[in-house]
Structures are given as C-alpha cells and as structure tokens.
Amino acid sequence: MEIQNAIPRRSFHSAIPSIRIPKTNLFSKLPQIHSPKWASLKIHYSSSSYSHTLISKRNLQCRNSVDKVEYNKGVSDKPKAKIRRKNLAVFVSGGGSNFRSIYEATLNGSVHGGVVVLVTNKHDCGGAEYAGDKSIPVIVFPGKKDSKEVFSTEDLVTALRSYKVDFILLAGYLKLIPVELVRAYPKSILNIHPSLLPAFGGKGYYGMKVHEAVIASGARYSGPTIHYVDEQYDTGRILAQRVVPVLAKDTAQELASRVLHEEHKLYVDVAAALCEERITWREDGVPLIQSKENPNEYW
C-alpha cells in the first residue's frame, strides 16, 4: 500500500488534491479490549466546592477562541442544526484506537463534525490503514529523511487549510508539533495523554512508559488528560480528565487497558463539545466545557 508523503509545492497554486490510500483488505479490526471493572470518577470544577458542578453565570465571564462571551448569553444554547459541522484532522502514530472512536462518533451523530484528513509519521501504521479503508485522505508528516521531496511544515499548514480543517486532534502522535502549526491553529489543537497531567508528562513519557512510571511511584490514581497543545510536550492548558484507580497488583498492561477505555469515551465527549462550540475560557485562562444537558453547569 502506497501513501503519498509529500505534496509538490507547485500544486499549492490551486486546491490541493486529496491524498488518498486505495481501499484495501489489509486492515482488520483489532480485537476488542476487555478490561476489568473499575471505578471511574469524572472531575467537576466549581467555584465553591468539589461536591457541586454549578458555576455561577453571573460572576464569571469567559471567552472562546474567537470572541469574548459571557456565560449568561448561553454559549451553546443555539440548536445543533444551526452550528456548522466542523472539519477535523486527526494525527496518529500507531493503531489509532482513539481515532477510530472519534470517527465512529462522527458517523453516528455523537460528534457534530467529520474527519476530513489523517496525518501520520508512519505510513504503514494501523491508523493509516484504517483511514485508507474508510477513504480518508492520509498525509505523512514529517516525511522520510531520505525522501527526494521534502514536505515542510508550511506545506502541511497549506494542506490542512485546503481541507478547511477547524480543529486538530492528536491521538497517539509521538512527534512534537511544529511551532508554525501551533501558531497557525491557536487554541485549536488538542492532545490526549495517558496520565493525570501535570504528573508523568513531558518528553519521554509516552505509551507503556507512562503506566510503568505511575505504578512505580505508588500513585493510587491515574487516568487520561486532554489538553491544548502549545510549543512543548504536555504543558498546554488542561481541558478534561478522567480518574481511574491504580490497583495494588496492577501490571502496566492492566492499567493501560483501564485508562484506554476511559480515553475512548473522554475524547468523544470532548470532540462533541468542541464541535458544538461548548468550550469557553475563564478570565484566568482556564478552559471549561459547558454541559450539554444543563447549560448552567461546567466541567
């Protein structure tokens, strides 16, 4: 299976043609992960105490990534039908299980958007194969060092804009996002990390290494974090977290399975909020998600 890993610079004078993987039978669904029962806690933030989820609309003013808005104007009161479907780009380096969860959610209507392009640094990874099977365009970035044609960050930004991408979701993408891309998409790039940041984050903390470090530390809780991407590893503003217990006899694999189960649900919830314009920014720079069921609540 061949994937184009560069777009000739001369082609950017007009709309960039889709970079597609031919449909093949190379991909088969991964076996479903069965994880043991566990307790999962959803963290709510409040101006008074952790036992309440309500944040007063009267006292706080928030802004989204474009305009300053007040809570009492009902950021997400408008019906979904009046909100434009958002175009999503997903970045992966491996099997792409979070990518698949998000893609399936766009098909069943849970996420008011669509995955219009996949970006990967590994042309033969499971996520790329899945995208090819679903006729989703794939871009390889960065390209191979020995490649004759160099696909630059500028080319990537141009390509993403040609697909009219609104938001970028990193789902197991192991490369540092270039500064130029972060600046081209301010407050529009999210990443998921398999620990409760800021603990066990930063360069070198990825995959099973994270879970091994959590267990070795004696931490009693772990879980996924979704945060905005800045110019460093895992240092952007935290948007959402889920908590799972670390059991006394856990192996790294068992903890990873438990955390991954929560990742799939959390990323879909956050992607839904993103596409429905339910994310607001507190005056101190903390992002909050407005509840879909009750616009008076934020988490």
Strand partners, 139: 119
Count Cβ atoms within 10 A of the Cβ of residue 117 and give its class: 0-12 exposed, 13-18 middle, 19 or more buried.
buried
Count CB neighbours of 147 within 10 A: 12
Please check whether residue 60 is in contact with residue 283, taking contact to mean a CB–CB distance below 8 angstroms. Answer: yes
Please check whether residue 271 is in contact with residue 98, taking contact to mean a CB–CB distance below 8 angstroms. Answer: no
Dihedral angle sign, alpha carbons of residues 46, 49, 50, 52? negative
Decide if 211 is catalytic. no
Strands 189-193 and 138-140: unpaired
Residue entry with tokens 């192991």:
174
Taking each helix axis as running N to C, give the angle between helix 252-275 and helix 97-108, from 0 to 180 degrees, rounded to the nearest 10.
Answer: 40
| Residue 31 structure tokens | 């076996």
- Asked whether the bond before 224 is cis by omega within 30 degrees of 0, the reply is no
Strands 225-228 and 238-245: antiparallel
**Cβ within 8 Å of residue 168, ≥6 positions away:** 88, 89, 90, 91, 160, 181, 185, 188, 189, 190, 229
Catalytic residue among 193, 211, 227, 261: 193
Could you report how far apart the first and last alpha carbons of the chain are, in Å? 43
Among 257, 230, 237, residue whose Cα is nearest residue 246: 257
| Residue 140 structure tokens | 């390889």
Active site residues: 193
